[in-house]
Structure 1
Amino acid sequence: MKFKLTLVFLFLLSLVLVTCSQSIPESSLPVPINNNDSSVRIWWTNGYYPEEDEAIQQIVQQWENESGFKAELNFLAEEVNLQRTKAAIETDNPPDIAYNPKGEFALNPRVAWEGKGSEVSEVLEPMKNRYSSSAIRSTFLYNSLTKNRGYYAVPIHQQTLHIHYWRDLLNDAGFTDSDIPKEWDRFWEFWQQVQDKLREQGQQNIYGIGLNYSAEANDTFYEFEQILAAYGVNLLDENGQLQIEDPEVRQDLIEVLKWYTDFYKKGYVPEDSIDWLPADNNVNFLNRRLVMTLNPTLSIPASQRSDEPVYRDQIVTVEFPKNPDGNPPQYLVSVKQILSFDASPNQEEAKSFLSFLVQPEVINQYLKQSAGRYFPVIPELLSDPFWKNVDDPHISVARQQFASTRPINSMLYPAYAQLFAENIWGQAIEKIVVEGVSAEAAADEVIQKIKTTFTKWERLKSGEKNEA
């Protein structure tokens, strides 16, 4: 278990870095200066594992050797990367390339909207028919200066929500894998029963369900969006128009807020889940405080690849149950993307690197060396033995999940991306479970916030001088 303890330490260290970075104003962050304008500046977010960093380092070196260009690769913690990139854009000193896993909702739509992104059609057009429809759609963003859409980001991999549980803890409670129901209500009731059984055995600090309830964790927004999708609650129609004026939509939102927060009120999730930071569900699960948890990547099982018994036998990945109406689930997919910028000095060299990176054999190398945490956005890569290995208990399940997906709204609409960045669902959930606000009041407040945000973005689109 040495590897597991090391991973938990790394997670905790990353939380300290994130917490510290969140208190630093963007304007006070020093922007790294490139001493050689001919080198392509690449700002990349640190991976969860050393293998992720090593993988991109190898690819950059391969590109340098093949192209003759030079690159300056800087690794930054996620929040530091995001804040420095924003500050660099504001001062017209952006890097040539930036990658941040929060980019598709916290950065990319806004950069495209403001006309500060570099249009990358020449990178994507040769690959367009090879990408999944969700991936290519997610990068076709609106530029308010040109009044047109274009390709302003390069998709590299994707994620969706996965459910993991500890098989041995399930067995300790007197259940087996085959006992897990496939129906929605019975599925969630089952994990409450597991907790009850373990508590009867004296295991008082273990919880059956690992949902997020914090406004500081992106997972809270993602999880709640997936639950809304399961219940068929659509805040936007197919044309991106708000539906929240519909009384039925409001009532459905209230019911989902009640459903989600009841687990907390009944004690089936940890009390401190209201304070979780992005990696805390991973940490709590790996510390065996949670029997089951949700996570938007395969980082939990991927962290245990070197421990075969844990990876193959103890941690189990399972698909979501059927939706409440009995239909199979459709998974919300988030596509991770790379940005380049109009104000950067080496746009052509940057596009050369991006064109190199998206070659199927190159991006596949990166994903596999990253322990399979993310999934390919190029369907043909799924024929690789790594991705079609039916004996892999986690990737084989994820492969089934990615067969039925749709893009999460925050990838497609800048206003919705702002709602994700502000984590409106986390805020509403905290108000209910911490402040005791009713689900009705929380729903009305969040509906007003959504309407205000969309109105501001519509005014921007029409040319009015209101800030979003």
Structure 2
Amino acid sequence: MTSRPTREQDPTMMRTRRAAALGGLVCVSMLLAAGCGKGFEDAPAQSAQQTAGPAKLEILIGSSGEAETAAVKQAAQTWASATGATATVTPAQELQQQLGQAFAGDDPPDVFYVDAVRFADYASVGALEPYADKISRPDDFYPTLRTAFTYNGKFYCAPKDFSTLALIVNQDLWSKAGLTDADVPATWEQLTSVSEKLKAKGVTPLALGDTRDRIGAFMVQSGGWITSPDGKQATADSPQNVAALEYVRTLLDDELARYPSQLDAGWAGEAFGKGKVAMTIEGNWIKGALKADFPDVKYTAYELPAGPKGKGTLSFTTCWGISAKSPYKEQAIAFVEAMVKADQQLAFAKAFGVMPSRESAKSAYTAEFPADAPFVNGAEYAQGPVNAPKMDSVLADFDTGLQKLTSQAPKALLQRVQKNTRAALGTS
């Protein structure tokens, strides 16, 4: 088994899906208990603020590895040296669990990574300081990332970086099938057509992850999503979502797409790296995985094929959260300000492969990493994770249903998701 990516932006790559779902439920339970028992909710208790003198910031990160840990520690030390503060960076072993325990114990870190998937759970109980509009040029963050970290109209926390999904093509398998750049699909119809050509040549066309974090892109391309843009209403059983899942089911039924388990692979990137498929749909984290495990594979990334409603992809992002109970809020905001400057984001990009969350850094980033342009371009039309609290079990159940998509009617699956979503949102 090859190693898997561990980026926070890729929830499906973090341990097993079942363990992640169960861990998320435990984390949310801890957080809700902390919120109800420690005075968060509607009127968070205010900690005494230290506005003068050196701050002692505790920073908890969900690191992707040694390169990220080293880069963040170096940036934190540079900031601390310039300000006279102390900034202690700790890479978490299990970020969500440790944060849940810290909040339950009324001793959260001052600054910490918040995955967009978990953001609403924290914001809904008042655990986060809504500071993002105090960061310079908040409108410079990509709109989809601002939306991901907005709750009840407040932009809470500055996006750290992001990823999107793109179509990854194996150049050798593509050429051996007699295909050229002109055959790269730009629409669903073209995806079906080129997949049929690949299959006729004895090549499995597409490896597709079997959860909403991959299949959801088709929903967006069809004009649908699980919730309304404000996260207040369930929209799972819309005709657009039904059409998307029907299309994906057709690809699976016709063996134009296969799930990783059908290819004896732990994730789609592994199947792609082993040369079992000509295409996959993954985020830019696949670069590091292929370099580490399959360095000889030649590939190119393209924007995902457009659906009936146009282009669509999914975004994965993390923000710099600040605890509502930190005694060093002003200093914490100053720390985040330093971390999200365009030049610092570009330094992080070079150190551990993330994409800057500021639009002003786009041209410099794509000049440095031109092959990543399809991922960056996706920010213009990307859909972020469901931005609503208490949705863990609903989404885990949806993923289970997607894994059985070929044996059930998409409409029935989406009706169940609709019912569960309405219950979680309190709109049933």
Given the two structures, how large is their TM-score scaled by the length of structure 1? 0.73
Matched, 1:351 2:327: no
Equivalent position to 1:135, from 123, 126, 145: 145
Matched, 1:169 2:173: yes
Per the alignment, residue 104 of structure 2 pairs with: 90
Equivalent position to 1:397, from 364, 374, 383: 374
Equivalent position to 2:117, from 93, 99, 105: 105
On the 8 A contact 1:428/1:443 being kept in 2, the answer is: no
Alignment of 1:308-457 (within 5 A): 314-324=298-308, 327=310, 329-371=311-353, 374-384=354-364, 386-388=365-367, 394-402=371-379, 404-408=380-384, 410=386, 413-415=387-389, 418=391, 422-433=395-406, 436-455=407-426
Q: Which runs of 5+ in 1 are unaligned?
A: 29-36, 143-148, 200-206, 214-219, 459-468
What CA RMSD, in Å, does the superposition of the two structures yield over aligned residues? 3.7
Aligned-pair CA distance for 1:227: 0.8
Give the secondary structure class of the aligned counterpart of 1:323.
Answer: coil
Per the alignment, residue 228 of structure 1 pairs with: 219
Q: Please give the per-residue CA displacement for 1:42-93, whole angstroms capped at 9, x wherever unaligned.
A: 111121x54323221221221122122222222134xx11122122222222
Aligned-pair CA distance for 1:266: 3.5
On the 8 A contact 1:117/1:342 being kept in 2, the answer is: yes
Q: Please give the per-residue CA displacement for 1:317-339, whole angstroms capped at 9, x wherever unaligned.
A: 112223236x4x14443442121
Equivalent position to 1:71, from 67, 87, 102: 87
On the 8 A contact 1:59/1:357 being kept in 2, the answer is: yes
Aligned-pair CA distance for 1:223: 2.4
Aligned-pair CA distance for 1:171: 1.8
Call closer, same or farther: CA 1:159–1:424 in 2, change over 3 Å.
farther
Give the secondary structure class of the aligned counterpart of 2:403.
Answer: helix
On the 8 A contact 1:162/1:319 being kept in 2, the answer is: yes
Call closer, same or farther: CA 1:16–1:177 in 2, change over 3 Å.
closer
Give the secondary structure class of the aligned counterpart of 2:245.
Answer: helix
Aligned-pair CA distance for 1:194: 1.3
Call closer, same or farther: CA 1:301–1:228 in 2, change over 3 Å.
same
Amino acid at match of 2:143: S
* Matched residues, number: 396
Per the alignment, residue 41 of structure 2 pairs with: none
Per the alignment, residue 42 of structure 1 pairs with: 59
Call closer, same or farther: CA 1:418–1:127 in 2, change over 3 Å.
same
1:38, 1:280 → 2: CA distance?
Answer: 43
Q: Which runs of 5+ in 2 are unaligned?
A: 31-53
Call closer, same or farther: CA 1:111–1:187 in 2, change over 3 Å.
same
Matched, 1:301 2:287: yes
Amino acid at match of 1:396: A
Identity of aligned residues (%): 16
Per the alignment, residue 184 of structure 2 pairs with: 180
Amino acid at match of 1:242: Q
On the 8 A contact 1:41/1:72 being kept in 2, the answer is: yes
Call closer, same or farther: CA 1:383–1:265 in 2, change over 3 Å.
closer
On the 8 A contact 2:161/2:317 being kept in 1, the answer is: yes
Call closer, same or farther: CA 1:420–1:165 in 2, change over 3 Å.
farther
On the 8 A contact 1:301/1:315 being kept in 2, the answer is: no
1:382, 1:255 → 2: CA distance?
Answer: 34
Per the alignment, residue 285 of structure 1 pairs with: 272
1:17, 1:166 → 2: CA distance?
Answer: 25
